[in-house]
Amino acid sequence: MSWGRIANMSFKAGCAAATVAFGLSATTITAQAADFSGERIELIIPFSEGGGTDTWGRFWAPYFTTFLPGNPTVVVRNIPGGGSTTGANQFEARAQPDGLTAIGTSGSTQFPYLLQDKRVNFEMRDWRVVLASPTGGVVYVNADLGVESAENMGNLSDVKLVYGSQGATSLDLVPLLAFELLGWDVDAVFGMQGRGAGRLAFERGEVNIDYQTSSAYINNVTPLVTIGTAVPLFSWGAMDDDGNIIRDPSFPDLPSFPEAYEMMKGEKPSGPAWEAYKAFFIAGFPAQKLVFLPKGTPDDIVEAFRTAAQTATEDASFIEDRQAALGEYKQIVGDPAERIFRQAVSVPDDARVWVQNWLTEKYSVQF
């Protein structure tokens, strides 16, 4: 063999060795980039303490601590205000793409964005999705109103109802549309700093109708039902694989909203208000709560969060404890979460315009 050929082979071997070394180095750098040892990660919850999103976020935080590389300290930071737009705006403006700040949102964050609310200063479509948590919700009333179940909720047609709301363009849009469809006389008191505040107003007797998302209902309202001060009427329902609204698996004994409507009205819901309700129900509940990282977060950090979330869903303690905080809903992680999020922010233009016009006429909301 010629010396030139030997030299050429040696050169190739050296390049291969360098390539391997570089590969190992790159792998090490990637691993280091996604290592949160000794770090403190903030999970922003743009609502006050005690509501459904806060309950959900505080359930997830310790699992991220356990399963993220390096076992960082993950803390929940509540930033209420503006129907969640205050915290979301701060996240947009301040969060760095280093994995040390995440945000947990709800439909109350998505709705102002979808409705082009003037308070929104964030571009949600640019955020990096980690996971989606489907949820539901239950409407309940004060037992003093004399209604025992959805079967006789027609009695509420002649009653003055008072509802504590975060705002007309928040997730409360779904109950406000439901009340409109049912023809109830509901005085919406705006300014609640989260659904937890609405529940406390109910407990103080300041409002007589309320709804809570599944986790908050299970944890905080079930005791009120047990002692006889609250009466559940219906859930919003859940979506099946064909896009139909069915009974919520967390509340199989309660009728879904379409069932309750039919029980009261004697016919299935229809018309523009119903089509708008369906569109925003889909946007607000099947992918109701989401964890995001900020725009520009590197893929390896996003994958570290997604892997941690996926690993958590397979953990025995998570499976055992999820009922109280999450209900009977499958957690959606990674690319499937990305797909369902894209669906959630794709409300048809005609439904959006109808809702904008209705909100302006009924609640003087200006877009």
Same domain membership, residue 275 and residue 191: yes
Judged against a pLDDT cut of 90, whether residue 214 lies above it is answered with no
240 and 161 together in one domain: yes
pLDDT at residue 11, as a whole number: 35
Instruction: Assess if residue 33 is contained within a domain.
Output: no
Of the candidates 252, 284, 316, which is a domain's last residue? 284
Give residue 123's pLDDT: 96
For the chain, give the percent of residues with pLDDT over 90: 65
pLDDT of residue 328: 79
Task: Give me the pLDDT at residue 367, please.
Answer: 81
The mean of the pLDDT values for the chain is: 88
Q: Which of 364, 137, 347 is nearest to 250 (CA)?
A: 137
Specify whether 293 is located in the same domain as 233: no
Which of 254, 284, 314 is the endpoint of a domain? Answer: 284
Query: In whole angstroms, what is the distance from residue 114 CA to residue 167 CA?
Result: 14
**Are 146 and 70 within one domain?**
no
- Note the pLDDT tens digit of each residue in 266-286: 999 999 899 989 989 988 888
pLDDT at 20: 39
Residues 160 and 265 in one domain: yes
Q: Distance between CA 216 and CA 180 in Å, rounded?
A: 24
Using DSSP's 3-state secondary structure scheme, residue 75 falls into: strand
How do residues 122-165 score in pLDDT, each as one tens digit? 999 999 999 999 889 999 999 999 999 999 999 999 999 999 99
Flag whether pLDDT at 189 surpasses 50: yes
Quick one: pLDDT band at residue 327, thresholds 50, 70, 90?
Answer: confident
Instruction: Give the whole-angstrom CA distance, residue 345 versus residue 271.
Output: 22
Domains identified in the chain, total number: 2
Residue 11 included in any domain: no
Cβ(74)–Cβ(68) under 8 Å? yes
Shared-domain flag, residues 235 and 270: yes
- Residue 284 pLDDT: 87
Q: Summarize pLDDT for 100-129 with one digit per residue, the tens.
A: 999 999 888 998 899 988 899 999 999 999
Instruction: Determine, yes or no, domain membership for 272.
Output: yes
pLDDT classification of 323: cutoffs 50, 70, 90: confident
Q: Any bridge partners for residue 131, and if so which?
A: 291, 333
What CATH number does residue 148 fall under? 3.40.190.10
Q: Which of 265, 284, 303 is the last residue of a domain?
A: 284
- 324 and 236 in one domain? no
Q: How many residues does the chain have?
A: 367
User: Is pLDDT at 329 greater than 90 in this prediction?
Assistant: no
Residue 188 has phi, psi (to 5 degrees) of: -90, 120
- Nearest CA to 126 out of 113, 135, 116 is that of 113
Q: Locate tokens 């291969």: which residue?
A: 16
Selected residue with higher pLDDT from 275 and 8: 275
Kindly state the average pLDDT of the residues 192-203.
92
Residues 295 and 275 occupy one common structural domain: no
In a domain? residue 3: no
pLDDT number for residue 117 = 87
81: domain CATH number? 3.40.190.150
Q: Are strands 137-142 and 238-239 parallel, antiparallel or unpaired?
A: unpaired
Residue 259 CA from chain centroid, whole number = 24
Comparison of pLDDT for 26 and 254, the residue scoring more? 254
Mean pLDDT for the stretch of residues 339-351: 86
pLDDT at residue 347 tops 50 = yes
Query: Is the domain of 231 the same as that of 325?
Result: no
Q: Is residue 53 in some structural domain?
A: yes
Is residue 35 in a domain? Answer: no
Q: How confident is the model at residue 304 (pLDDT cuts 50, 70, 90)?
A: very high
Of all residues in the chain, the percent with pLDDT exceeding 70 is 91
Same domain, 175 and 61: no
Q: Are residues 212 and 277 in the same domain?
A: yes
Whether residues 168 and 273 share a domain: the answer is yes
Domain-embedded: residue 26: no
Q: Where does residue 33 rank: exposed (0-12), middle (13-18), buried (19+ CB within 10 A)?
A: middle
Which residue range forms the structural domain that includes residue 228?
137-284
pLDDT digits (tens, 9 = 90+) for 26-68: 333 333 468 999 999 999 999 999 888 898 999 999 999 999 9
32 occurs within a structural domain:
no
